[in-house]
Structure 1
Amino acid sequence: MKICILGSGALGSTFGAALSEAGHETWLLNRAGAHIDAIRQHGLTVIEADSERSVRIKATSRAEEVGPVDLLIVLVKSFATREAVAGATALLGPQTVVLSLQNGLGHEDLLAEVVGRDQVIAGKTYVGGVLLAPGRIRCGVAGKQTFIGELDGRASARISHIAEVFRGAGLDTTVSENILGTMWDKLLVNVATGALTGITMLTYGQLYSEPLLRETALAAVAEAIAVAKAAGVALSLSKPEQAWNLASDGLPASFKTSMLQSLEKGSVTEIDFINGAVVRLGQRHGVATPVNATLVACVKGIERAMGDQQQEEAKR
């Protein structure tokens, strides 16, 4: 299978390494920068548990170098989805399947605007990754599930084939006939930890040792569960504690959420597609979400401070 991963940071590189090692022609496509340069020159160094290995994988910043693919996995930051896919049309052929594994809600609609709804499938993954240095990642794959599904819930041949490809690469993958509920399940996990770690700048080990932060996380997840129920979404997670426990399962104490990693790099976050989605849908369905609204406001405040500082530095 010819596969391209659009947005090849830590998580994209983790998927790319697994699929490349399984024998698939796999490309990492990302903005030009040190990470892509390092992979092209020296390969990708993958640290998992107590082992370290080097993976040879194709990497580029030009979609034209890749050409049409069978499967396009989208892992760019949520706010960059439409622009990134619109700029990578060289990857798209009549049979290309486009899979979003991004955090939060709403990406499938953005992708459908560019490629057409028939070519879009949805998914969520609990696989984790951290970019340690250009060309070097730490990942958690073992015991971490990935769910994929057709937007209409059909058990199609193409979704079954992609699941088999992922499983053959060591990625524990399940086909979901309720992908909306599956996406909400993952959203609950992101709601539990993402904003809190971004605001406090804490790793998982630090976060999970602070009882006050645990109570805040559980309150945020409880709001999200109430919104999902009001929207008629069938969840597999029914208690906030389940999302809190699932978020850290199998990950090291040093793990950093993608939201924290974004803020550490001075980048804007996906808060609008995670806690922000809970707030918007809560307003639509008449469910109060004061904890999530507060978390959104705090992260937005941090983004504003970073932006102002970057502007001041640019003037010097």
Structure 2
Amino acid sequence: MRILVVGAGAIGGYFGGRLLQAGRDVTFLVRPRRAAALAERGLSIRSPRGDFHLPAPPIVTEDALADPFDLVLLSCKAYDLDGAMASFAKAVGPRTAILPLLNGMRHLDVLADRFGPDHALGGLCVISATLDADGGIVHLNDFQSLTFGELDGSRSPRIEAIASTLTGAGFDARLSDAIRQDMWEKWIFIAALAGITCLMRAAIGDIVATGAADLSTGLLDECAAIAASEGFPPRKPFLDGVRATLQASGSPLTASMLRDIEDGKPVEADAILGDLLRRAGEADAHSLLRIAYAHTKAYEAQRQRSEAVGNKTT
């Protein structure tokens, strides 16, 4: 099975690298600057699950794409989705499956509009990884799971073939018969965690220490109610686990969205918070989700204004 991994950043680089390490047929679709860095330093992974270095990983740039691939692994940020789709369009043939690892659900509609309804699978990953100063991939904890499945829950021949390829490749691969439910539950967790840590600009343990854990769980309940209204009520073991996570004393846990704000980077406010809020219909004036979304949008406005000023002075 020929696999095209779109990008070789922290997520795509990690899973694509593990697949290469396991002998799978993987090519990274990268921009010229990343291509030059990989050609010079190779692909490196530092991880509690074992380090890996490949001096010359298989890479291709958009202009050199020619033939369709069997599987496209897509792990871009939501705000980069349009550009990513344009970059790998030539790799999508009649039988190509696209496995997106984006947060939220809106990207499924966007992919269907661009490529048709039969190409996209459902997928999600659980991993904490980043790039170091040299572009190497640093895996920050022990989690490295990738869950995938047909959106209708079927066990199609293509999903069985994909499962066979992804299984045994050095990470935890799971074929799900309820991938939409799994994606909704991850979305709820990410939205509650991102919403409260960005709003409070603090880790979970610090929020708990102020006696405000009820705000975290209140936001979780609000997100869970939206999922239920969309036909995907979260399962009790999931909700119990997330509730415990959001009330954990001393926890250093924050959302990657907060780290992006602190670093002055773009954020996925619309995909993670805004689209969930839109599905709620007319939100209450005191909705925590509405307030958290407004907070992140205010950050985006401030960031855009700062960039505009910077562009004028350079």
Give the TM-score range, shorter chain: 0.7 to 0.9
> Could you say which structure has the larger radius of gyration?
2
Q: Match of 1:95, SS?
A: coil
Query: Which moved further from structure 2: 49-58 or 164-173?
Result: 49-58
TM-score by length of 1: 0.85
Contact 2:122 2:151 in 1 (8 A): yes
1:98-177 equivalent positions in 2, closer than 5 A: 98-139=98-139, 142-177=142-177
Cα pair 1:36 1:134 within 8 Å, conserved: no
How far has the Cα of 1:19 moved from its partner? 0.9
Q: Distance in 1 between matches of 2:152 and 2:263?
A: 37
Q: State the alpha-carbon separation in 2 of the partners of residues 73 and 261 from structure 1.
A: 25
1:231 alignment partner in structure 2: 230
Residue pair 2:274, 2:293 contacting (<8 A) in 1 also: yes
Quote the offset at 1:143 in angstroms: 4.6
Preserved contact between residue 122 and residue 149 of structure 1 (Cα < 8 Å): yes
Q: Quick one: structure 1 residues 8 and 218, their matched pair in 2 at CA, closer, same or farther if it must change by over 3 Å? A: farther
Q: Kindly tell me: are residues 230 and 65 of structure 1, through their superposed partners in 2, closer, same or farther at Cα, counting changes over 3 Å?
A: closer
Name the counterpart of 1:308. 305
| Aligned pairs (5 A) from 1:137-286 | 137-139=137-139, 142-198=142-198, 206-211=203-208, 212=210, 214-237=213-236, 240-243=239-242, 257-264=255-262, 266-283=264-281
Distance 1:30 1:190, change over 3 A: farther
1:38, CA displacement in angstroms?
2.0
One-letter amino acid matched to 2:295: C
Can you list the C-alpha shifts for 1:261-284, whole angstroms capped at 9, x where unaligned? 543554422121112222111117
Q: Answer whether contact 1:237 1:243 (CA < 8 A) is retained.
A: no
Distance across 1 between alignment mates of 2:234 and 2:275:
16
**Alignment check: 8 A CA contact 2:192 2:216 kept:** yes
2:48–2:142 Cα contact (<8 Å) kept: no
Which sits farther off after the overlay, 63-72 or 124-133? 63-72
User: Partner letter of residue 53 of structure 2?
Assistant: S
Q: Deviations over 1:17-42 (max 9, x none)?
A: 11111112222223343x44322211
Report the equivalent of 2:12.
12
Matched, 1:45 2:44: yes
Q: CA 1:96–1:307 in structure 2 vs 1: closer, same or farther (change >3 Å)?
A: same
Q: Against the structure 1 CA distance between its residues 150 and 20, is the aligned structure 2 distance closer, same or farther, given a 3 Å change threshold?
A: same
* Distance of 1:193 and 1:230 partners within structure 2: 20
Question: Per-residue deviation at 1:98?
Answer: 0.7
Looking at structure 2, the residues matched to 23 and 141 of structure 1 have their Cα atoms a distance apart, in angstroms, of 24
The question of whether the paired residues in 2 share the 8 Å contact of 1:69 and 1:96 is answered with yes
Structure-1 residue corresponding to 2:289 = 292
Residues paired across the two proteins, number: 308
Instruction: Tell me the residue number matched to 2:23.
Output: 23
Distance (whole Å) between structure 2 residues aligned to residue 180 and residue 287 of structure 1: 27
Contact 1:259–1:269, Cα closer than 8 Å, also in 2 = yes
State the alpha-carbon separation in 1 of the partners of residues 243 and 39 from structure 2.
38
CA distance in 1, matches of 2:63, 2:198: 32
| Cα offset, 1:257, TM superposition | 4.1
Residues 299 and 66 of structure 1: CA distance in aligned 2, closer, same or farther (over 3 Å): farther
* C-alpha spacing 1:288/1:200, structure 2 compared with 1 (3 Å): closer
In structure 2, do the counterparts of structure 1 residues 106 and 48 end up closer, same or farther at CA, with 3 Å as the change threshold?
same
CA distance in 1 between partners of 2:153 and 2:117 (Å): 14
What residue number does 1:88 align with?
A: 88
Aligned counterparts of 1:21 and 1:289: Cα–Cα separation in 2: 50
1:66 offset after TM fit, Å? Answer: 6.7
Q: 1:50 to 1:117 in 2, by over 3 A?
A: closer
Structure 1 spans left out of the alignment, 5+ residues: none
* SS of aligned partner of 2:85: helix
Identity between Structure 1 and Structure 2 (%): 26
**Is 1:126–1:145's contact at 8 Å kept on the other side of the alignment?**
yes
Cα separation, 1, equivalents of 2:141 and 2:155: 25
Q: CA deviation at 1:89?
A: 1.6
3-state SS, counterpart of residue 23 of structure 1: coil
Between 1:130-139 and 1:47-56, the stretch displaced more is 47-56
User: What is the Cα deviation at residue 71 of structure 1?
Assistant: 0.6
CA apart distance, 1:67:
3.8
* Cα RMSD (Å): 3.0
Tell me how far 1:225 sits from its aligned partner. Answer: 0.7
Structure 2 SS opposite 1:235: coil
